[in-house]
Every structure is written in structure tokens, then in C-alpha cells.
Chains A and B, each alone.
Chain A
Amino acid sequence: MKNTIKLKIITLGLIVSILAMAVSLLVSYFSYKNALYDQFDGTIDKTTEDVDKRFKEEIWYGSDFVDEIKEIKEYVANNYTDNHDDPETFDTYDDKRHHYANKYPSIYALYGETFILYPSLAEFLTKYKDIISMLDTSVKVSGAKNAFICYYDETTSSLVQLVEYRVGNIDIKEIYYPGSHIAVTETPNQESSVVSKYSVYGKMQKTIPIYERDKIGEPEGLIAYFFIEYDYEKVEQEIQHTILIQFATLGATSVVLIILYVLGAHFLIIRNINKLKKASSDFADNLSANGEEIKTIEPGVKSNDELRTLSNTFVSMENSLINYINVIKEQTITEQKMNAELSVASKIQLEALPNKEYDDDNVSIRAFIHPAKEVGGDFYDYFYIDETHVAFSIQDVSGKGIPASLFMMKGKELIKSKLHSDNSLEKVMYEVNNELTTNNTESLFITSFVGILDLKKNELTFVNAGHERPYIIKKDRIQQLQCNSNFILGGMEDFKYKSETIPFDKDTTIFLHTDGLNESINDDREEFGYDRITEILNKNTSSSLDEIIEDLNNSLKEFVGDNEQFDDLTMLLVKRIEPKNLDFKFKKPDISIIDEVNDKFNEVYSEIDKKVKSQINIINDELLNNIVSYEQAECLSVEVYYSLLGNTLNMTFKSNGEPYNPLEKEEKHLDKYSDDIEIGGFGLTIVKNMVDKITYSREDNKNVITILKRI
């Protein structure tokens, strides 16, 4: 069973009631019992006094009663026999009584070990009728069990019984005869009318002295003692019975009180506690139910006590909880929204970056970026400005997070758009700086390294705007680039940026990084530093770009250990590689050169998509057929050049025939069949539709057709 409050209150109540009942019963038992005994004592005192008074008034002087006592006394004194020498032994008193009753069938007297015999009961009853009458009256008046008369024998210090009378049984055998001894512990008090109480066998006895009296009733001499003996067991039974009834009444009253207590506890306390319990469980259900508005639950405690206060407190607690939950909910929604937006921002930012890997016939580029926060202030970029110029840059904005990211995007887009429209890097940087400086209320700035690779001249032109100096990696050595450090972007208006140009030919690599690399610290607050970068790069002069990035990354991870990356980290590697060129020169060609050119092209540019290859094969077929079949020359020669720059294929066809521009011809497109469709003239239509740009020029007495095709 659950250990409920109800159970506890009831149990406690029961324990307290039972204890109280027990105590009150004990107290009442003793006090009541004593009172009963006292009351009884009072009764028998009164009775004794009545009897005494009767002796004084009615056991009158000179009556036969006194003479009779004297006579018995004399008889007893002369006749009682000491039976101590009786050889018979008995196991019980009753055995003894029966023995003597059989031995002396008419009478017997047994008290102690002494008894005397009176010759005839009938004679005794006749002779001492006054005594018998007196005893009978006394017993009847007092309500006692029996009455008897003794005298005190000084020689044996014992009371010697003269006669005894028992109530309710007139059987003569039950009258005890004179001469039995009663041992007494104290000498009867002759002064007091009441000799002793409970003095013999602990029974309730009253003793009244019997005196001889003179003519005016004054006592003259003590003759004997008159005893009245009450039935102790009967009195005790009556008292017990009375007490039992009292106990039963008390017990019943207690049970009723306990029931009342339980009911009271339930209605006054437990009911309200249950109301609170229900309210709180309803409220909890309410809380866990999703998507519903949380409502206050009123427990409805009406009693004007602590439970009412608790109920009010509960309601205000509910209100506080609801408010708190609503605030948390709003905060969570805002936070989730914010996080979602940040992750979208991060995605947009990363998507704004060009691929981390780029390879074509001219350059190979690898990049690594790891923002310290969701959105970072680092950036790298690379793009073809035109067919022969590749621009690249690495940038680091002061600060991190969204403001840095936004500022950096602005810088990145400015540089890109201006580089596309202007080929002077110094001018571009000047303008970008001015635009970034204007309205730069947050005082953000960018350190930037912008380089332009000239694929034709094999040169690198760059501006370093306050950025870490990059490394130049060649096959046999590495070197940190010695360069001017111009002012950061966004810091000072009208700063004149100075560009520098260095040779940058085949197999040269530039390694750029942000300060997240060299300034990363380990557990000992030591920086990664340039020496480690130099060391790692030195080990990797003949490694691939991927291997360099991997080695740097692993070394850095090992170095910082458990230290969290505190800054964005960006690395950029740009390697110049030799373009893949293909040249043909034919003298007096025939159409068989078409297969030769196509087969060779397909072999050299095998990585190009099959469909695009087919298109280029068609272009070759059309243009070479035109030249071989229609151009007139003394000694016809044909040159074909292919060069892949980035994703643009440059094709050049040169022939020394008469000036002829095939592009002047109109394109031909058939709508429906008819018998007079002219055969031919479709070749240039096909070619024009398959290229991105086609131009004709006459150079050095040659027809030159230049084609650009993105692949």
C-alpha cells in the first residue's frame, strides 16, 4: 500500500488515540477502582457502625446474648483440645475437613490445628438462640457473607472462635463451632470500636468488640469480638464488572472519535492535498502536451489555512513556469533561426569560393579553408581574367563572424569585377581600397595578396596589401617572396599600391596562407611560425600540391594538439604548368590530312569529352576540306595550331591561298524538302554553330581563321 499522507495522518491519529485511551483507561482504572473500594469501605464502615450501635443499644445490658457468650466462652475454655498431635496428615484443607466431618458427623470446627467439639448441634441451637439470632440479623443488615464471634486468648495470643454464621446457607453444618483458633498478629484494640480491617486472611472483615455493660449502658468489660466478613470475591467481581462497562464505553467513544478524526482530516486536509496533487499532475500533463497553449490549473482549495497559501503559491509558480517556458521557447526559436541562418550564410560563403581543386593546361590550383566560426573572414579566389591571364588572391579580414564575412565578400567581388574591366593591378587595388575605405564605420580592413599570372609572358604581377609573404616553390628550392608590403585594404584612402613582377615559368608554385597558419599556438603558447612552414615546404619541393597541403595540415594538427583553432586558416597553392600545344604544318596537302589531324588531336587531348572531340573533328573536317579543296596557290601550305588555355581551346588555321573569307557566306538552313535544294554550303553553318568565337583575318598573305571553343 502506498504510504499516502492520508494513511500517515490516520495512522498517527490512531496511535495517539490508542495511547490516550490506554493512559486514560489506566488512570481511570486505578482511580475508579480505588473510588469503588473507598465507596465500599464507606458502606461497610457505616454497616459496622450500625451493628456496633445495635450492640450498644440493643445487645443490651443483661440480655441473654452476653450470658450466652460467656457460657460458650467458658465451655470452650474448658474443652478445647489441642490437636497438634493428631497423627493424620492431609494433602489439602478440604481433605482435612472431610476427614473430620466423617469422624464427627454431627459437628465440626476447623481453624488452624485446633478444634473443639460441641456434643450436639440441636442443643447448641436451642441453647444459644440469641447468639444465632444476633448473627443472623447482623449478616442480613450488613449484607455480609458471614459473621462470627471470637475471644482473645492471651495465653496462646490467638483468637478463639466461639461461633460462626454464614448467610444463605442455614444448613447447620455450615455453622462453625466454638473453639477454633485464629492466629492474630496484633492485639485487638480495645479502645476502638472497630478493631481492624482486612486483618484476617486479607479478607474484608469488620470487628466489633462486645462489652458487658452496666445499667446505663457504659461498657464494663470486653467479652469477645464480633466479626462481620464480607464476600471479597463478589465485591471484586462487581467492581471489575463496573470497570469493564466503563472501559467498553470509553473504547466505543474512542472509536467514534477516531472515525470523526479521520473524516475531519480527510475533509479538512487530505481532500485539499488531493486537489493540489491533481492540479499539479494536470499541469504536468499540460506541459508535456506538444503544440498546445499551456494553461494555469487552479487547484480550487477553499480552506483558509496553509493549504490555501500553498495553493496560491502553486498558481503563481505555474504562472512563473508558463512565462519562463514561453521565454525559453521564443529564445529557442530565435536561436534555431539564427543558427540556421548562420549555417546558410556559411554555405553561401563557401559556395562563393571557387573549387578547392583546379587543373588545366596552364595552372594547377589547390586551396584549403577552415573557418574558426560558422562564417569566417578568410577568403581565397582565382579566375581567368582572359585567355592568358589568371588572377588569384588570398585575403584575411580583421575580425571574424558575419561582419568580417560581409566585408570580405565586398572586397572579393570588387577585386574580381575591377580586374575584369581593367588590367592595371595597381589601379584596381587603388580603387578597391578607396571603395572599402568609404563608409567603413566598423573600421574593418583586409590584408590581401593579389597576383596575376601572365601565361604568355610567364610572369607573375602582384600586389601585397599587408598580407603574409607567400613562398615561391621551385623544383630545387623554396624561397619566401621578397616583396613590398603595401598598406592594408580599407585602412587609408588614396593609398598608391605598388605592384611587382617576377618571372613565373613552368613548374613554379606560389604558396599563400593566412596568419591562421603561422600564428597557431600549441599548449606552451608557442607559435607555429615561419621556420616550420619553410621546413615543411623544403621537404616537399617535388611533392604534389595535394601532398604539400596534407603535410602542412597534419604538421599543424600535431603541433596545436588539443588547442582549439582560434583563427580562420586558409592556404592557396598556384602552380604554373606548361600548356598543351599541338601544331601541324602541311605542304601541298590533300584531304588525307583531315584524318591525320583528327586522329592526332584526339590522342593529345584525350581527356576532352567525346562529344566535344567529335565537334572539333567536324570543325577540322569542314575548315581543312575548304582549304584543301577550294584554295588556289602555287604551293599550298596549311598550318594548324591548338592550344588549351584554361577551359578554352584556341584553334588557328592558316593557309596561303587567295584571300578568302568563308565567314561572309550566309548560313544555310533547310525548312522542307524540295528537288532543287543545292548540295553544299552547309559546312560553315555547322562550324559557326559549334564554336564560341570565330574570326577571319589576312595576315602575312595568309588566310587566318581563329576559333575559340569552350570545352
Chain B
Amino acid sequence: MEIKITHADNLTIELTGRLDTVTSTELADAVAKETITEKLVIIDFKNLEYISSAGLRVLLALKKQFTAEDRDFEIHNLNDVVKEVFNVTGFINILSVK
């Protein structure tokens, strides 16, 4: 998986490839390394093929961390498979999805 972080109006994390067992820790590590000052972070799924439960786990951990730090993230551009995963697990109800 490729992770691209840009600081423009908002901090944007753009993911390319699969967010699965193998790659989920890469996302956790990349975010941990980043110094985040923004109240809102955008995670762009435009080029993400799919997400597995390992990926969900990272997103949930991030949600807990951000909530504790009084910030939030939004997920943009979900494809059908990712939407399906979010729907069946209920993640659609706890994450900000655009």
C-alpha cells in the first residue's frame, strides 16, 4: 500500500492499494509519525481497492485517538466494496464518511 500525506487546507492522507492485514500497520505507523495540528484530517480512499477487518481495526483505533484529542477525520471517495464492508460492520455509523 502507498500512503501519501499532504498538508494543504487540511491534512490529507491518500491511500492507494489494499488496506488489509499486511498493510494496516503501515497506516498506523504513518499517522503516528505525523505531527497533527489540524482539527480535521481527510483520509482519501479514491485509489483504495478494498479494506479488510485489519484496516477497520486501524481506523477504529485512530477514531478513538482522535476523539480523545478532540479532533476528527473524514473518509472520502469510498468504492462499492469498501461501502459494503462499512455497511455490514456498522462502521458507516461511527465514522464520518463523505
Contact = CB atoms under 8 A, between A and B. Distances in A.
Interface string B21-49: 11000000000000000000000000001
A672 B49 contact: no
B11 interface: no
Given A621-B52, A625-B52, A682-B57, 19 more contacts: A594-B20, A594-B21, A594-B22, A614-B49, A615-B84, A617-B50, A618-B20, A618-B51, A624-B21, A625-B21, A669-B88, A669-B89, A670-B91, A670-B93, A673-B93, A675-B67, A685-B88, A685-B89, A686-B52
Contacts of A615: 50, 81, 84
Interface of A: 591-592, 594-595, 598, 611, 614-615, 617-618, 621-622, 624-625, 629, 668-673, 675, 677, 679-683, 685-686, 689-690
B88 A689 contact: yes
Given A618-B50, A689-B84, A673 B21 contact: no
Interface in B47-63: 49-54, 56-57, 60-61, 63
Contacts of B51: 618
15 contacts: A594-B22, A595-B22, A615-B50, A617-B49, A669-B89, A670-B91, A670-B93, A671-B93, A673-B67, A673-B94, A681-B53, A685-B89, A686-B88, A689-B84, A689-B88
Contact of A686 (B57, B60, B89): B89
Interface string B63-98: 110010000000000011100110011110110000
Contact of B20 (A611, A621, A669, A672): A621
A685 B87 CA distance: 11
Interface residues of B, number: 28
Nearest to A669: B90
Nearest to A676: B64
Interface of B: 18, 20-22, 49-54, 56-57, 60-61, 63-64, 67, 79-81, 84-85, 88-91, 93-94
Among A615, A675, A677, A686, residue most surrounded by chain B Cβ atoms (within 10 Å): A686
A673 B96 CA distance: 11
Nearest to A673: B94
A325 B64 CA distance: 85
The A interface is mostly helix, strand or loop, or mixed, namely helix
B56 A682 contact: yes
Contacts of A598: 18
B50 A672 contact: no
Nearest to A628: B21
A670 B88 contact: no
Contacts of A621: 18, 20-21, 52, 54
A520 to B, nearest CB: 51
Contacts of A668: 89-90
A682 B22 contact: no
Contact of B81 (A611, A622, A669, A671): A611
Given A670-B94, A673-B63, A675-B67, A618 B85 contact: yes
A489 to B, nearest CB: 47
B78 to A, nearest CB: 12
Given A617-B50, A618-B85, A679 B57 contact: yes
A680 B57 contact: yes
Contacts of A618: 20, 50-52, 81, 85
B90 A670 contact: yes
A672 B67 CA distance: 14
B12 to A, nearest CB: 22
